[in-house]
Amino acid sequence: MKPTKTLHDLGQSIWLDNITRELLNSGTLQRYINELSVTGLTSNPTIFDQAIRNSSTYDEDISRKASSAKSGEDLFFDLAFADLTRAADLFRPIFDRTDGTDGWVSLEVSPLLAHDTNKTLAATQDLHRRGGKPNLFIKIPGTPEGLPAIEAAIFAGVPVNVTLLFSREQYIAAAEAYLRGVERRIEAGLNPAVASVASLFISRWDVAISGKVPGELTNRLGIAIGQRTYKAYRELLNSARFQRAANAGARTQRLLWASTGTKDPKASDILYVKAFASPFTINTMPEGTLKAFADHGEVGDMLAPDGGDCEKVLDSFTKAGIDVDALASRLQDEGAASFAKSWKSLMSCIDSKSTAISKAG
């Protein structure tokens, strides 16, 4: 049995953190579904920037749609929907079989809106309407300004993937925003079964402190943060508040492990997959990490519901001079800025291709 199948059978969903037209056209995504137990897909502005910049397969669509698009952003979403609706159709049998628990694809609102609540909400509702697929998550950042938009989107019945979460506290804030939206639906007599996932970013922690801590702490901070957050997740599932909502028909906002590709060339290329094996969670993996785990992965102990030794490890980082709370805020700000930079690059790429194709025509 492939390691990916073993992990799936233990109760963790494996999603691919990538989307390109070549993945779709070549049948590779379908093969990953059939052979590597992939049951969903995530995307972000950086992924789309690289996909469109490094391929000519989008040029025909750009040529055909450029004249009618209202803006470069509008044209981008046309291109993204063309890919994501195809991917959503591939995952639809999984979505139907699991009654909407699995089989999702994700599209992010413009990261330029990360600190604007009202515009984020408006964009979320517009993208949900344009996507027209029941298994399409709209990604909203879990920034302070994003939290009210998450609550309002859930109340409006829009499935949300909360992105750019880096700590237990940021996760809890996002989970509470989700629950508030659900509770408002219950109070209003609406169906509370609106799906959501909360995406905790892992590897960026270890990149941020590389070379700044004793050797024995290398590549341990991201895992400790994940353990601490997993404990909070399990406690929330056991809470009276969530169970009241679940009794009224609410779904669980599953915890998703994001940024799980190993950045340290000296570390195992499956470090964060092995560390975060845990039931009723999702691991969205870069393509290289997925293939590495399928090739030589191993599944050890499941993540401890009580967080294991995370607090002891985090105390060691505090003693080494790492302010975890301050770093979490910085990582979220930097993550938002990084996606905004990729977004601007993406818009520039689309504009350049549109101009070049127009001149060639």
Catalytic residue at 266? no
Question: How crowded is the C-beta side of 144, counted as CA atoms within 13 Å?
Answer: 3
- Which residue type is seen at 285? M
The alpha carbon of residue 334 and the mean position of all alpha carbons in its chain are separated, in whole angstroms, by 16
169: part of which helix (H) or strand (E)? helix 168-187
Query: In the structure encoding, which two tokens stand for residue 202, read together?
Result: 């892992």
Residue 201's beta-bridge partner residues?
A: 258
Characterise 266 by phi-psi region: left (phi > 0), alpha (psi -120 to 50), beta (else). alpha
Instruction: Tell me if 31 sits within 8 A of 2, measured CB to CB.
Output: no
Find the catalytic residue in 70, 119, 139, 319.
Answer: 139
Q: How many angstroms separate the Cα of 67 from the Cα of each of 21, 51, 70, 83, 348?
A: 22, 22, 8, 20, 16
| Phi, psi for 92 (deg, rounded to 5) | -60, -40
Residue 40's beta-bridge partner residues?
A: 15
Query: In the structure encoding, which two tokens stand for residue 81, read together?
Result: 């929907």
| Phi, psi for 269 (deg, rounded to 5) | -75, 0
Characterise 188 by phi-psi region: left (phi > 0), alpha (psi -120 to 50), beta (else). alpha
For residue 56, give every residue at least 6 positions away whose Cβ sits within 8 Å of its Cβ, in sequence order, or none: none
Instruction: Tell me if 278 sits within 8 A of 303, measured CB to CB.
Output: yes
Distance CA 86, CA 91 (A): 9
200: part of which helix (H) or strand (E)? strand 196-201
164: part of which helix (H) or strand (E)? strand 160-165
Enumerate the active-site residues. 139
